[in-house]
Every structure is written in C-alpha cells, then in structure tokens.
Structure 1
Amino acid sequence: MAFSKQPLSTGWTFKDRDDETPGAWMPVRTVPSTVQQDLIENKKLEDPYLGLNELKARWVNEKTWVYRHVFQRPEVPDGATAALVFDGLDTLATVRLNGATILESSNMFLSYRVDITEALGSSNSTNMLEIEFDCALLKGIEMRNEDPGHKWCGMFGDMGRLAVRKAQYHWGWDWGPVIMTAGIWREVRLEVYSARVEDLWPQTHLAADHKTVSITAAATIDAGNPEGCVARFHLTLRGQEIASEEIPVGTDKSAQATFEVRNPELWWPHGYGSQTLYEVSVSLSCNGNEVHQVSKKIGIRSAEVIQQPDKHGKSFFFRINGVDIFCGGSCWIPADSLLPSISAERYRKWIELMVAGGQVMTRVWGGGIYEDDAFYDACDELGVLVWQDFMFACGNYPVWPELLDSVRQEAAYNIRRLRHRPSIVIYVGNNEDYQFQEISGLTYNYEDKDPESWLKYDFPARYIYEKILPEVVAEYSPSIFYHPGSPWGDGKVTTDPTVGDIHQWNVWHGTQEKYQIFDTMGGRFNSEFGMVGFPHMSTIEYFVQNEKDKHPQSQVMDFHNKADGHERRLATYLVENLRMATDLETYVYLTQVVQAETMMFGYRGWRRQWGDDRKCGGALLWQLNDCWPTISWAIVDYFLQPKPAYYTVKRVMQPVTIGVQRAHHDWSVVHAEPAKHSKYEVWVASSQQEVLRGTVELRFLSVETGKDLRAPAVFENVTISANGTSEITSGIIDHVTQPEPHVLAVRLWIDGQIVARDVDWPQPLKYLDFADRGLEVKTQPGSSAGQRLLVVSSRKPVKCLVFEEQENVRISDSAIDLVPGDEQIVEITGLSDSDPPLGYRYLGQ
C-alpha cells in the first residue's frame, strides 16, 4: 500500500489532570500548541506578555495537564503498519492508547514513533489517545533533591532544569519570562504503510578545484520484508533532472546511489554568490508499486573552520568553498516563549532581516531549541550560515546513565534531521558551561584524556561535550566541524583571546568597560557581546497597559527587563555618555543610541582586524531577537522592528566599508581634562574577492558651526585589498591649536559612486552642543508603488538620526550621522500614498 499520513491537529480537548469538576475538559483549537495558548483561547488565562500578567500565569507552571483525542481506526491492510508519530512532546509525557501506556517520553528534543498496529481496536472502532504532561518544574526539583552529591550550580531558574531535557529558557532567563510550557509542541500524526523511507542522507564530496562533485544518497528503509523493494534516486536542479539511478533495497534495508556532477553550481553565503539548491529524492517501490517518496534540498559547498598557529595565537575563522569569510552576525534565541505560535512566514522574515542587515552568520543558542525546519529552510535559501549549539546552557549538568542515553539519542536525531543543510557549518557542545565550571571552581583537567575519569569529577558534563557529542557528530555528520563549547579554546580559560571563541561581556557585565574600547577586548572569534537597548515605543505601549506606568522607572518597565542589575548598568552607560532625560520617549531613544554606538564600536574595530592575519574571524552579537515583548540586548524587537543598532551593524557589514577613529581618551580617568593631541586612523574593509580602486575623502568639521576646520584630504586611486583591510591614512589632531570640538568624516567612492561613509565624534557625546542642527528631511516619490525616498541633509553635524519603525514598513538606513555637504537618501517601502511621513528624532533634538 502507498504511505499515508493523517495529521491529528483538531478534535483535541485538555484539562488540569487534578480538576474533576464537570466541564473541566476544554476544547483545543489546534495542535501543535501549548497549554498556555489553549488556556488563553478558553479565556482561562490572561496574556502573560502584558503588564505583570506573567506572575498571574505562574500557577500554570506547577500543574500536570492531560490532552485527549478520539480518532477512527484507519484501514490497515494485512502486513501494513500503523504508527503514531510525535515530532515533539513538551516534555515529561505519558501517552496512552485506549487506556494502555504506549510511550513514556522525557525529552522535548526527540521525535517518537510508536507502532500501534496491534493496539488499535477492531475495524471502524474509535480509539482514545490520551497524553499526560507531568510538571517539568516540580519534577526537576524532585530529581535535583534525589541527587545531593551533584553540584547543582548555574544561572537562571531552579537548577532542577539541568535534569530535564527541555528548552532551558522556559525556566526564565535574563531576557525572558518564566513560562513553563507543556503540550504537543510539534506535529502529531497517524501513519499507515507497508514500507517507507526512514531516512535519506545526501552527502557531497566537492573536489578541491570545484570542477566535480560526488553526491552520495543513502536511504534506510522501514519494511518488514524488503524483498522486491527498489529505490529510485533522482538528482534535480531547478526542476530539471540531472541524474537518476535505480537500486534494489538490500537485506540490510538500505540502498545507496552515487552521482558525479561536473561543473556544479555552488552554494554560497549571501553576498559571496548564489544559494543554489539541488534536490535529491528517493522513490520506494515494492513489488512494482510506488509506496513512498522523500526528497531533500542540498547545497554543494565545502566548509572548514581554520585553526592554525599565527602571530596572534591560533586562528578561528570559517572558510567556505575555499574563501575566507568574516562571519559577522548575531545570536538567535527562540522567537517566542510559546513556540507553536511562530509561523514559517515569521521565521523567514527574521532571516530576511539578517540578510538585509549584511549579517552572514547566526548562532542557534544552546538554551533554546533545535529550530524548526522553516528556520533552516530560510537560512539555506537566503544564504545565512548557522552555528548550531547543542541544547545545554549556563550550568553543571548531571550524567545519570539514562540521561546520557537520552542525550545521545537527542544528538543523533537532530543531526540526522539537519545534516543535509548547507547552512550548518559548525556544531558546538554547549553555551557557557565551561565558563561556569571556571566560575564555580569545578574540576577540569584538560590533560586528563580518560573519559571514564571525567565522570568522577565534579564537572562530569565534560563527558557529554568531549565524548558523546563528538562521537555522534563523527558518526552522523563527519564533514561538519565540532567545537566542545562556546566559549572554548583548547582547554584554556574561556576568556583567553588568543584561541577559540570568547564571550566578551566586560562591556555591560563584568568590569563595565567603556564601549569606545570594545575593539581592544576581542578574541579570535567573538561569539557573544552586547548592550541593552529599549524597544520602540509601539512595543512598549503594547505591554504597558496603564498610562501611569509609561515612565522609565515604572514597575512594569523594570519587570520587562530581566537583565540582572539593569538599572545600574544602563544608568552607568547613559550618564557616562549622554545628557539625561526622564520623559519616556527620549529615554528610550537614548538607550538605543548607546546600544547602536556600542555595536558600531565593536563591529567596526573587529572587522578591521580581519585584515590583520585574521586576528578576528567573526563577531556574533547578543542577540538578534526577543521571545516576548521586552527590554533586552536584541537589536530587533519581538515585533520584528529593527532598533538603531541594527542599522549601525548593517553599515559596518556592507561588502565594502570605511572606518575612521581617533584614539580613545578616557575622560573619566583624567577628570574630564581634554586631550592635547589625538591620533586618528582611516581604513577600508572589504569582503570582495578582487582588488578594487577607490577615492577616499577625509574632512574635519566643527561640531558647533558645521564648517570645515581645514581643507579636506583626498586620496585618489587608493588600492583596496581583496577580502581584507587597507590602511588609508593616519595623523594627529592638535587640540591645543584647534580646541573646537570637531568630527572626522570620511567617504569612499568606487566607480564614481559613494559606497561607504563613517563619522568619528569627540567622546563623550554628552559634552557636545547639538543645538540648531539645521536638519532637512524632504520626501520624494520612489520608483515603485509603496516606495518613498527621504532626502536628508543638515547645516551642522547630526548624530543618530532615527526614523520611526512601523509594521511591514522597511527602511534602508537609519541611526544616520550627517555632515554638511553630504546629502543622503533613505528608501522607505511599505507605506501607501495616504500614509503620513515617518517620524524621526536625533541626538539633542
């Protein structure tokens, strides 16, 4: 018989297990879902994202919930199999069919398949499916108490979370609420088949000269008797068949075909080439009848992590198809606390924002989930590289035998699910667990290479990160690089800047350094760093329900900022750099200015270091997104509205960018005495693969008058190195003879077009007078419907001109610095002719 599947998405009811009152069972609109979504739908729970409602929703976290579904017995021919498939159960679930337990699951990250052929009732009978979700919060606490010998240390939430294979951010994080979801969080379906393709694994082996590729397609078959079964493999490109082969299924229930392709079209990260995707498919026929077909899209590319000794220590950067890639991008957390609410369209919009922002890589963080297929589809199709953490974060995990077995299954399942994807270029064991080993004083002897001895230490999770996970990666995805943790570097302290990757949190956390020196604090790969910035006013107005709470220090505002010590930290960076304000709109804007400046100083300097023997191989800011409407490090808020920092990163990550920066003068150390002299430097960074020629202009302009304080310096026909950095000029600013505060403004022309700008300002900005800037914003019609052009200019230098963000409206540039005589054009798309112009503000307005 042909394979058939029936999603069980409707017809469910649910209730609190312990509620025996009449009418306790409530309808479920659709699954996948979470109990919180279903309670909201039944008006039993207020939206936990609004106001202080999260506190009102905490009772849900401590309950056990039951879901029930009745279905008709499907037709199951003789010799066929009926199976229930659960792509995701959250988390401690007991599944019963007609009263008999058929599955007990304890891992949110696993898929389960249960043969129910014999358990089904007779023909045309109804069958009762019931799933009981035990309370993960209380069960975790119970397991923690049962093992007092383990050192339960870490951050965020009760440490019982370490014992439960559930998304760790559900226990609450320093950017997210405590929402312990339960439910059928991914699809559940009924399948009936006589034989099926269990797995299809396409592997590519690209020749060093890229002239040929060998594509091996290996299929495993689920069939009682594979005799008479044939697998027909097909390779297609843009719907056109390139090759095919028919292979009998062996007695080991497998079949394999190999295709040789000459002059293949390669898959590249965006900005480096096209994202060509081939399709590999297999059709399974048994006794002449086609019974099942599976296909996967693949990209042909090579991916390496280059770790070689050099003058800076040991490199850490990515090489794709032989090309060194500076991996600027951002870390990714789950896009919602209620995971089933994220649509494929919403996933794609997030990745489209990354691409539009020049971001080449995203890091799927280890406290969330192995993401939905729609997320990876978008990365494959749009050309965003994926750094994939395994799901461990910020703690000392136990190593009970049953837990280790579950982890091995989890890793194998998810690698098999993801291994064909060209976007995935690295697997990483955990997030910050080695860092917490150091902080907590746990034992880690890198020189001890005996895995069995690691289980006896008080940091036994090393066994997971350095034995289980690398073994599973080697078995199921041997072509992808494995890195034991983030941060991690050859067993050295996790803050060592000479090797591996680092998380640089001495801006905001730690020693709270000035963000102006961010570039001096980087490592070989900066996989976390950040600065908190408020979301836009429309997002704040969404979660702040009462007018009385719309001020920067209200309880609701603080409640929606989960970062420890955020009041002190944010106040420090604000008062050090900007003139303070107490009205909410200005305060929001000022936090965004600080965040934008912080990200710019980090990215600008680290990208420059790419040209210094790959001193910095990449920078992934913390974080791209939010999981609820909140105040956090995200540079795009929950409603996909970019903050100003998004645009400052976008400018630095353009294919060719220019930088100008004067030496840091620490005004707080010298008690605000001005510098007598300042060295400045100008450079160009390029990701282009060919040498370019350009013209660079450097101007010195008064902040107060907008006039040039000296003649512009023009450098013609400068050589711009391929995929590196070109130093253009340097000099000294003499503040004694010219004490007037002035900006350094640079522009780069290539082929007669301005391709990049940068402006360096005297620091701190709070010392500058921004009155009477003479800003002009003129609106012109664009070249297409729904497009407008904003022509912006000024009589005096303008700092951080930010345009209003609106849903479904896209802005080509914002957080702009302007200088006289340099008119800029901003494209606005998504506004109708009748819509009013976007609002805007700038520093000192």
Structure 2
Amino acid sequence: MHYKTVVSTLVLASTLAATPPAKADNVAKQQINNGWTFKQVRGNNWYPATVPGVVQTDLMNNQIIEDPFYRLNERGIQWVDKEDWEYKTTLNVSPDIFDKDNIELDFKGLDTYADVYLNDSCILKADNMFREWKVSVKSLLKKDGNELRIYFHSPIKVDLPKFDALKFPVEAGNDQSENGGIFDKKVSVFARKAGYHYGWDWGPRIVTSGIWRPVYLIGWNDAIIDNIFYEQTKVTPKRADIKAQIRFNADKEGEATLTIKADGVKTVWTKKAQVKKGTNLIETKLTVNNPKLWWSNGLGEPHLYPFTASISMDGKVADTKTIHLGLRSLKVINKPDKDGHSFYFELNGVPVFAKGANYIPQDNFLPRVTPEQYEKTILDAVNANMNMLRVWGGGIYENDLFYDLCDKYGIMVWQDFMFACSIYPLTPELEDNIRQEAVDNVVRLRNHPSIAIWCGNNEIHTAWFNWGWMKKFDAYGVTEQLRNDTKKLFNHLLADVVKEYDPTVFYWPSSPYGGNPDAKCETGKEIWNPDGDAHYWGVWHAKDSIANYNKIKARFFSEYGFQAFPEYQSVLKYAPEERDHNIYSDVMMAHQRGGSHANGLIEWYLLNEYRKPKDFPNFLYMGLLLQGDAIKTAIEAHRRMMPYNMGTLFWQHNDCWPVASWSSRDYYGRWKAQHYFAKKAFNDILVSPIAEDGKLNVWIVSDRLKATKGKLDIRVMDLKGNVLFEKQSNVTLPANTSQIQFSAPIESVLGGKQKNEVVVNARFIENGNGEVVSNNYFFTRFKDIDFLKADIQMTSVPAGDGYDVTVQSDVFARGVFLSIDGIDNFFSDNYFDLLPGEPVTIHVTTKLDKETFDKQLKNESLADAY
C-alpha cells in the first residue's frame, strides 16, 4: 500500500470573489458525501449518516442519543467513545473521473484511528486527525457499485494500553478522564487528536470519531498540482519580490509550461521545464511593482490578489489553481533592548499593537459549524476592532475558510501547533507522525497573508518551570528524558519544519516563552516577562485584585482572562427549568468546568467589587458587568504601556458549547459585556483616565499611522450630573503612541466631594469629522458607590432590520442593560453608562413587530440589581 499526503489551499467562492481559472479538463473532482450509513460495530442496525460528520451527531440525528449540550445529557453519552464504529457508502464513479489515467481518494480529515477499505482492500490506516490522506485507487475501482468502508477504532480502547505501559504518570490536567469513566487514565496525550475533545476547563468531554472533513475522488491526466508556495522574500510599497514554487505530479515525461497571472497585475509569467514521471518542482521569481499592500484591520485595506497558476503539457492545460495572496511584510521583532527583548509584530515596516483574543474551536462537533457561523465569528472580531486572533494549541488547525476570512478582513493569526498543557512521551512513530502533521498544515496554510507567527505549543514551557512538573517527574527519574523530548519536539522538530516550509514566518517554541529553553520566562513579579509573551493569570486564578492589571508588565500579553456565565436568555436555552437557576445546581455546575472553585471565584470577586445581587438573573447580569470591567481594565493598562508592551490577546473569543467561561461571546454568538467593552477599549483612539500617584492622569493612545488633532474635554461630575470640574484643551495625538495628555492632583478635581461620589468623563472630539471617543472612570470600587435609582426613558423608531432605540436617564446610570425575550436579536451597544440628560441611540436587530418589541424591551442598571 502506498499513500502520501497532499495539501492545497482551497479558497471558497462564497467567501472571496475570484477570477475563475481556465478550465482544466484533465482534472475532475467528485465529493463523496451521499449515501453514507453507519453502525456500532458490535451492533446490527445501520442508520443514515451525514458526511462530513461525527458519530455523536449521527446518533443525535437518528434520535439514539439526546443533545449532550442540554442540561445533564453529556453524562449519558460517555459510552460512545468506548465503541468501534463503521461507516460505508456505495460509490458510483462519474464518467469524467473513471476515464482518467490516475484516480485518487483524498480524505481531508479522518477522526482519528481509521482503517479504510475500498471493495474489501485495505487502502489506508489513518492515525492522525490533523493530517490529510491521499491514496491512489485506479486499479481497485469499478465504474459502479464500489463499496467504500471506514472502520473507526475507539480512541479510548486504542490508547489505554499505551497509558498502562508507561512507568510514570502523564501530565494532562485538563483531560477529564473521570468524567469519561476511565478513572485517572489521561489518554489524550497519545492520540493526535484535538485535546479539548477530552475535556477542558471550559468544555465537555465528548471524544468524537468520524469523517470530519470532506472526502473527494480526484481523477487526472498528464499532471496535477500538488501545492504552490508563493514565498514573499521582500515586500515594500514599491515592489514585492516573490519566489513561486509549484510542486506537481506528472504521469509521463515531457515538457511542461508554467503560467502565472494575477488580477490587477499586467505581467504574465511563464516558464518551461522538462518533467519526469512522478513529483516535479518548478521555481520561478515574480515581481509586482507598486503593489497594493495587505493591511490588518484598522490600518488599511487587506487587499488580496488572485494569483492563478497553470501547468500545461502537450499544449493543453493539465491543472490550474487560484490562490488569494495578500502582499505584505509581516515580522516578529524579538531583539535585545534596554528592558530585555522586544516582542512585537511589524507589518509593512510599521510596529503594530496586537489587539485581539484567543480562539478555540466553535463546537465540540466540528463539522456542524456553518460558513455563516465562521463569518460571524471573524466579523465579531473585526467589529470589536481586533486585528489578531490566536488559534490555540488544544483545538485544531482550522478549516481553510477560517484563514480565508482572516485574510479577507485583515485579522492576523497567531497559529499554535496542536499541543497544550501536557506531556507527550515521544516514540519514533509518534515523532514521524507529528512531523508529517506539521508539514501538512504548514504547507496548507503558508500562503495566507494572515499567518503572522507559528508557535510550538500552549503553556508547556511555563508548566515545566512554574507548575511543578520538574519535581513531579524527578520522583520517577524521568525528568531528563521528558525535558529532552520537549525540547526535541518544540525547539527542533517543529522549528525545522517551519524553517524548511515557511521560512519567512517567525517561529516561537511555546507560549509563553522568553527565548531560553532552560529558564523560566514568567517571573511572578511585577515585570511578568521582560523578553517575550506572558500569560498573566494572577487576576482570576490567584485572586489578585482587578486593579493589579494596572501594575503587571510584559512585552506582549498573549493570555489573561476573567470568567462569567452567559446572559440569562442564553442560560434558558440549556438550563430552562426553575430548579436549575442557582449557580450551584447540578445543571449549572455541569456547565461550569472550573467546578465550584470557579464559581467561588466569581462570587468572591463580585462581592469584592460590587454589592450582593438580589436574584439569579441579576447575579448573571452583575457577573457579566464584572467580567467586562476586568478585561476593560486590562486592555487599557496594556495599551497605556505601549511601546514597552505591544500586544493584548484576552482569553477567550468564543465557546465550544454553552458554559460559564472566560469567553466574550457565548456559544450562541451572543456578545457578553466583555465584548462590548473590548470593542471600545480596542478603538484605534483610546482615552484612558486613571489615578496614578495621587494624580488624575488622562492617557490617549492612538494606533493611527498619522497624527490626529482634536479637543480633549475632561469633566468630573456627581451622580446627579452636576459638573464639579471641567477642562478643555486642544491636543495633537502623535501617530502610533501612548501619552499622558492631562494631569492634575486628584483633590483639585473633586469639587469638595468624596472620591466615591463622582465620575470622571473624558472625551476626545476629533477635528473635522467631530467623532467622539468617550470613557468613564471611577476612583473607588463600585461597592463603595451609592448609585441612584435611575428613571430610564426609551423610545424606538423602525430602522432597517430592527429599531433605533434612544435611551436617556435623569441620573448617572451604570451598566445599562437592555434586553428582549430570546436570543434571536442583537444590540449594537449594551451594558453602557448613561450620563444624566445625555441620550444615547443604539440599533437593535430583531424581527419583532413594533408593538411586541416595545412591550418586551426592558432595561436595568446596576442600582436595580442589588
């Protein structure tokens, strides 16, 4: 049996407008997604199956198991991963494929241990969810009535013997083996499979199997393109130099002609080459003069050029492929400086402050995430002024569509390899499997302009030095062996793959990391990491006060976060019963994977910062406000630190099921207060008032590449709106900087009031367009402020796909939350403050008629929640 891995970058026409390539009649493709059935191997009954899909979704569709996301149903499906499953379909080959000289089966993704049979011949034994498998099948195919059968071995049964054979315990703290009914046997580390499937501290344990990505039958004559690499060797506004490498397979010797053209570029590049039967490589150099550059969100247009490459033989086009390229120079600058080592992203010669979040898979059942959900997830980042997402190492190397959308909308991607928080005992077989996995995915993703960095793993380096792994493994005498495995994998094997296959992109062995494989990078002191990126979890896990975000320094914050439950209307979707409505109920605890410890932290912080909420819905509301305040504090602090710190990626952008977590958008895509607050804190101009050393300092941060002029208006008022202090001044914001634009002793702005009786409102009004950036600041904790009951008036007028609602209050109203029933709606802003007598208008997207909308529309502010 012979098979090899072939990868390609497929751009979905639904996402990106593309010039249709010249038709290559020599290549034909057929998706095998119809007529599939499946069964439990030790059962008798075959049921209809959906491909792509997984066993659990097929069992749900056939009403054999209940939705595991609802109430306590997850507990009842743990038997599924202990069983073997079989899938089969009858394959009739389309005539345009059957007549081809070469026919291959292309499995984009098999999860995970899968034996594939075609007409009873075993053609493949797959053992890695992250790899693509391609098998030549011409000699085995009939025109009609071919049986394609896939036997999925239980990943638990395959890997339990590997666990039992080890002489030391593995380290995989997030593997919820007990929930899976296998005691403390954390087998996740043995499978090249998404780590979060085995559970995480925000996700369920649902270990899937199945045909999780599409299957194609591909027929071709003469030649077929394997992959293309457009290596951008040097890009400036004047010229882009590209080395194009086209790897293709030919089934005969002869002369081939490579032709490359790009929309918007007059030059057509051609090159002739003698080719041999088998794999061939043609390299050629391309130059684009005065290119339109690709910019990240907020800095400019993320321009994409469709580059179309064709291979011709005997005067006929054999194969053609179009790839959308963003021409840009994107580097990580990690160099010695006066404070340690810099760590920042430089795009087209400009230092860019990275603003964004960590991204996890959008569902435990990956094939059911729709293109519309992908687009909404990326647009929710774009619309919150983000320019970066970190694809975290316990999930998957995402679908092509994810990166296509990041390319299209200007979201830079920090891409982890799929390793997180665990020890992976290496064998030669596993090492080879991992190397091929890395090659597959680097080759698949390297043409995306959004790929900004390749990172070896999540938190494995810091785990060795800060989590007590050294001491634990010293007791078994295997520390040296496992440390060597770790360094071999993350400092050599993966680094070498990136160097060979994507040489212009920066590789970072772990996150967090400081540059030395044998030293801790996070100090635990005020300077958290002077040389690289940091995961600061003192706020939350260590009960540091939220104000501590203002003190902790690092060069780049790649993780930090704060938990909250989803809003009440979301909770009703998975915990609808009255008896569920207590954060310690069985159902709410099942949807809180941090356990009672995490719920205790939410309560502790809530009572530390606020007063006691009066009931369950208000506990949820105040918890959301608390989470938003915490992350707002962090983002503003990190941006004020610029250029010492040059990035802030909070944990986390999204959820994989309905749960209490650190996400800013819940599983249903509802924005939490944190997402609304992040949108404002990530604005390209940020006004950030703060008390420092007895002074009220007002910082203004600008990410713009040109200076901006405007007026700074600072008001200090009491909660009834009486202005106690006001100062207006004309200011010029330098490009790409953070500066104090106003400073005064705190006592001088209080107008005789106490600190807990006032609010600071700082506004920047831009010259010319009159755009206003505003921010409120309080000198004390909210629990020490006697907010007044507000009389909030709301008026609505029909507008577009919903209503414009104007909201105003007679007194200062903190955290105004608007809601209507259900979650099929969206508020353009929410959890906002209202200044007395200063109305705010927001848009609500809803299908409700006006009478029903006005009747349902509710509001509350913090004073109502006690």
Q: TM-score, normalised by structure 2?
A: 0.89
For 2:400 and 2:677, locate their aligned partners in 1 and report how far apart those are by CA, in whole Å. Answer: 30
For 1:438 and 1:157, locate their aligned partners in 2 and report how far apart those are by CA, in whole Å. Answer: 24
Q: Secondary structure at the match of 1:191?
A: strand
| Other-structure match for 2:511 | 486
Q: Secondary structure at the match of 1:684?
A: strand
What code does the residue aligned with 1:352 have? L
Q: Secondary structure at the match of 1:48?
A: coil
Q: CA deviation at 1:691?
A: 1.4
**Does the aligned pair in 2 maintain the 1:454–1:462 contact within 8 Å?**
no
| Other-structure match for 2:782 | 765
What code does the residue aligned with 2:738 have? T
Cα distance per residue 1:197-255 (max 9 Å; x no partner): 111112223344x2011233221111222414333222223xx7653425335346222
> CA 1:455/1:200 → structure 2, altered by over 3 Å: closer, same or farther?
farther
| Other-structure match for 2:721 | 706
> CA 1:101/1:266 → structure 2, altered by over 3 Å: closer, same or farther?
same
| Other-structure match for 1:83 | 104
**Does the aligned pair in 1 maintain the 2:259–2:311 contact within 8 Å?**
yes
> Of the candidates 673, 678, 688, which is equivalent to residue 659 of structure 1?
688
| Other-structure match for 2:124 | 103
**Does the aligned pair in 1 maintain the 2:358–2:559 contact within 8 Å?**
yes
| Other-structure match for 2:628 | 596
> CA 1:433/1:699 → structure 2, altered by over 3 Å: closer, same or farther?
same
For 2:639 and 2:340, locate their aligned partners in 1 and report how far apart those are by CA, in whole Å. Answer: 18
Q: CA deviation at 1:483?
A: 0.4
| Other-structure match for 1:48 | 68
| Other-structure match for 1:607 | 639
**Does the aligned pair in 1 maintain the 2:259–2:268 contact within 8 Å?**
no
For 1:544 and 1:754, locate their aligned partners in 2 and report how far apart those are by CA, in whole Å. Answer: 43
For 1:730 and 1:459, locate their aligned partners in 2 and report how far apart those are by CA, in whole Å. Answer: 53
For 2:483 and 2:647, locate their aligned partners in 1 and report how far apart those are by CA, in whole Å. Answer: 33
Q: Does 1:796 align with 2:811?
A: yes
Q: CA deviation at 1:780?
A: 4.1
For 1:128 and 1:763, locate their aligned partners in 2 and report how far apart those are by CA, in whole Å. Answer: 71
Q: Does 1:273 align with 2:300?
A: yes
Q: CA deviation at 1:566?
A: 1.3
| Other-structure match for 1:554 | 585
Q: Does 1:718 align with 2:731?
A: yes
Cα distance per residue 1:752-781 (max 9 Å; x no partner): 624211111242212222233233333345
Matches within 5 A, 1:8-87: 8-19=32-43, 21=44, 24-28=45-49, 30-73=50-93, 80-87=101-108
Q: CA deviation at 1:116?
A: 1.2
| Other-structure match for 2:535 | 503
Identify the range of structure 1 (745-754 vs 769-778) with the bigger mean alpha-carbon deviation: 769-778
| Other-structure match for 1:543 | 574
| Other-structure match for 1:261 | 288
Q: Secondary structure at the match of 2:569?
A: helix
Q: Secondary structure at the match of 2:538?
A: coil
For 1:757 and 1:134, locate their aligned partners in 2 and report how far apart those are by CA, in whole Å. Answer: 57
Q: Secondary structure at the match of 1:836?
A: helix
| Other-structure match for 1:779 | 796
**Does the aligned pair in 2 maintain the 1:657–1:755 contact within 8 Å?**
no
> CA 1:530/1:282 → structure 2, altered by over 3 Å: closer, same or farther?
same
What code does the residue aligned with 1:395 have? S
| Other-structure match for 2:526 | none
Q: Does 1:132 align with 2:147?
A: no
Q: Secondary structure at the match of 2:138?
A: coil
| Other-structure match for 1:118 | 139
| Other-structure match for 1:206 | 234
For 1:537 and 1:757, locate their aligned partners in 2 and report how far apart those are by CA, in whole Å. Answer: 29
| Other-structure match for 1:643 | 672
> CA 1:46/1:485 → structure 2, altered by over 3 Å: closer, same or farther?
same
For 1:829 and 1:79, locate their aligned partners in 2 and report how far apart those are by CA, in whole Å. Answer: 52
Matches within 5 A, 1:551-590: 551-564=582-595, 565-590=597-622
> CA 1:517/1:455 → structure 2, altered by over 3 Å: closer, same or farther?
closer
Q: CA deviation at 1:72?
A: 2.8
| Other-structure match for 2:350 | 323
For 1:105 and 1:199, locate their aligned partners in 2 and report how far apart those are by CA, in whole Å. Answer: 22
For 1:530 and 1:441, locate their aligned partners in 2 and report how far apart those are by CA, in whole Å. Answer: 22
For 1:706 and 1:306, locate their aligned partners in 2 and report how far apart those are by CA, in whole Å. Answer: 47
For 2:388 and 2:815, locate their aligned partners in 1 and report how far apart those are by CA, in whole Å. Answer: 26
For 2:843 and 2:141, locate their aligned partners in 1 and report how far apart those are by CA, in whole Å. Answer: 61
For 1:793 and 1:305, locate their aligned partners in 2 and report how far apart those are by CA, in whole Å. Answer: 46
- Alignment length (residue pairs): 806
For 1:221 and 1:100, locate their aligned partners in 2 and report how far apart those are by CA, in whole Å. Answer: 27
**Does the aligned pair in 2 maintain the 1:686–1:724 contact within 8 Å?**
yes
> Of the candidates 367, 371, 396, which is equivalent to residue 423 of structure 2?
396
Q: CA deviation at 1:105?
A: 1.0
Q: CA deviation at 1:814?
A: 2.1
> CA 1:831/1:763 → structure 2, altered by over 3 Å: closer, same or farther?
farther
For 1:225 and 1:380, locate their aligned partners in 2 and report how far apart those are by CA, in whole Å. Answer: 37
| Cα-Cα RMSD | 2.2
**Does the aligned pair in 2 maintain the 1:600–1:652 contact within 8 Å?**
yes
Q: Does 1:145 align with 2:169?
A: no
Matches within 5 A, 1:450-529: 456-458=481-483, 460-491=485-516, 492-496=519-523, 497-509=529-541, 511-529=542-560
Q: CA deviation at 1:285?
A: 2.4
Q: Mind listing any 5+ residue stretches in structure 2 that lack a counterpart?
A: 1-24, 178-185, 472-477, 524-528
Q: CA deviation at 1:521?
A: 1.8
> CA 1:738/1:751 → structure 2, altered by over 3 Å: closer, same or farther?
same
| Other-structure match for 2:474 | none
**Does the aligned pair in 2 maintain the 1:396–1:437 contact within 8 Å?**
no
> Of the candidates 807, 829, 840, which is equivalent to residue 813 of structure 1?
829
| Other-structure match for 2:386 | 359
**Does the aligned pair in 1 maintain the 2:466–2:520 contact within 8 Å?**
no
Q: TM-score, normalised by structure 1?
A: 0.92
**Does the aligned pair in 2 maintain the 1:5–1:191 contact within 8 Å?**
yes
**Does the aligned pair in 2 maintain the 1:552–1:587 contact within 8 Å?**
no
